[in-house]
Chains A and B, each alone.
Chain A
Amino acid sequence: MTGDVALRCPACGAPVLVDDNFCEACGTAVLAPAKRVAARRVEVDLAVAAAVSEQGRSHSRNEDAFHIERVGAEGVVVVVCDGISSSSSGDAAARAAAAAAAAVLVAAVGNGGDLAAATGAAVLAARAAVQHVPATRRAALALPSCTLVSAAWRDGMLVVGWVGDSRAYWLGADEARQLTVDDSWAAEQVAEGRLSAEEAFADRRAHAITRWVGADSVDAPQVTTLAPSQAGRLVLCTDGLWNTAPAPGELVALVAGLDANATPASVAHHLADAAMAAGSRDDVTVAVIDIEGGEGAQP
Chain B
Amino acid sequence: MTRFTADVYQNEFLALGATDVDAVVTVTATDATPVAVAAPTAAAEIVIVDASGSMVSPFGKLKAAKQATAAAIDAIRDGVAFGVISGTEEARAVFPLDGTLAPASDHTRARAKAAVANILPSGGTAIGTWLTLAHRLFEGTPAGLRHAVLLTDGQNQHETVEELEQALAECQGHFQCDCRGVGTDWEVAELRRIASTLLGSVDIIARPEDMVADFQATIERAMARGTPDVALRLWTPQGAKLGFVKQVAPAIQDLTDRAVPVDALSADFPTGAWGNESRDYHVNVRVAAREVGDEVLAGRLSLVVDGRLVTQALIRAVWTDEPGLSTRISREVAHYTGQAELAEVIQEGLEARRAGDERAATFKLGRAVQLATAGGNDGTLKLLRRVVEIDDPQSGTVRLSGTVDEVDEMSLDTRSTKTVRVHDTGP
Interface residues of A (CB under 8 A from B): 1, 4, 6, 18, 37-42, 44, 46, 51, 53, 55, 61-62, 64-70, 91-92, 95-96, 98-100, 102-103, 106, 129
Cα A53 to Cα B56 with chains together (Å): 11
The reply to whether B118 and A62 contact each other, CB–CB distance below 8 Å, is no
Nearest Cβ distance between residue B414 and chain A, in whole angstroms? 18
Query: How far, in angstroms, from A96 to B120 measured CA to CA in the complex?
Result: 12
Question: Per a CB cutoff under 8 Å, which of A61, A92, A99, A100 touches B118?
Answer: A99
Partner of A68, one of B92, B118, B121: B118
B12-55 interface with A by 8 A CB criterion? 53
How long is the Cα–Cα vector from A219 to B62 in the complex, in angstroms?
35
Is the pair B58, A6 in contact by a Cβ cutoff of 8 Å?
Answer: yes
A96 and B92 alpha carbons, distance in the complex (Å): 9
Assess A53 versus B120: contact at CB under 8 Å? Given A4-B57, A37-B59, A99-B97.
Answer: yes
With A and B bound together, what is the CA distance between A41 and B55 in angstroms?
11
B57, B59, B114, B123: most-surrounded residue (chain A CB, <10 A): B114
Residues in B whose Cβ lies below 8 Å from that of A92:
90, 92
Min CB distance, B82 to chain A, in Å? 16
CA distance A38 to B62 in the complex (A): 12
A-B contact pairs, 22 of them (CB 8 A): A1-B406, A6-B58, A41-B56, A42-B56, A44-B117, A44-B118, A46-B117, A55-B53, A55-B122, A61-B122, A62-B122, A64-B120, A67-B115, A68-B117, A91-B123, A92-B92, A95-B120, A96-B92, A99-B94, A100-B97, A102-B118, A106-B114
Known: A18-B57, A42-B62, A99-B97. 18 other contacts (CB 8 A): A1-B406, A6-B57, A38-B57, A42-B120, A44-B117, A44-B118, A64-B120, A66-B120, A67-B114, A68-B117, A68-B118, A69-B118, A70-B114, A92-B90, A95-B120, A102-B114, A103-B97, A129-B97
Contact A103 B56 (CB under 8 A): no
Least CB separation from A46: chain B residue: B117
Return B133 CB to nearest CB of chain A, in Å: 13
Q: By DSSP majority rule, is chain A's interface helix, strand, loop, or mixed?
A: mixed
Does B111 reach chain A (CB closer than 8 Å)?
yes
Q: Name the residue in A42, A65, A70 with the highest tally of chain B Cβ atoms < 10 Å from its Cβ.
A: A42
A28 to B210, CA, bound (A): 37
Contacts of A4 in B (CB 8 A): 57
Q: Which residues of A contact B118 (CB under 8 A)?
A: 44, 51, 66-69, 98-99, 102
Task: Tell whether, in the assembled complex, residue A103 and residue B123 are in contact, meaning their CB atoms are under 8 Å apart.
Answer: no
Q: Which residue in chain A gives the minimum CB-CB distance to B121?
A: A42
Which of A6, A69, A95 is B114 in contact with, Cβ under 8 Å?
A69
A37 to B57, CA, bound (A): 9
Which residue of chain A is the closest to B113 with respect to CB atoms? A69
What's the minimum C-beta distance from B421 to chain A, rounded to whole angstroms? 36
Identity of the chain B residue whose Cβ is nearest the Cβ of A18 in the assembled complex: B57
Cα distance A70–B58 when bound, in Å? 27
Expressed in whole angstroms, the minimum distance between the Cβ of B26 and any Cβ of chain A is 42
- CB contact under 8 A between A38 and B111, given known A44-B118, A99-B97, A99-B118: no
Instruction: Give the residue name and chain of the A residue nearest to B184 (CB).
Output: A1
B115 touches A99 (CB 8 A): yes
Rounded to whole Å, the gap between the CB of B63 and the closest CB of chain A is: 8
Contacts of B92 in A (CB 8 A): 92, 95-96
Complex formed: what's the CA distance from A106 to B117 in Å? 15
B56 contacts A40, C-beta separation under 8 Å: yes
Interface residues of B in 338-378 (CB under 8 A from A): none
In angstroms, Cα B112 to Cα A106, docked, is: 12
Question: Please, which residue of chain B has its CB at the minimum distance from the CB of A63?
Answer: B122
Our pick among A39, A70, A98 for the contact of B56 (Cβ within 8 Å) is A39
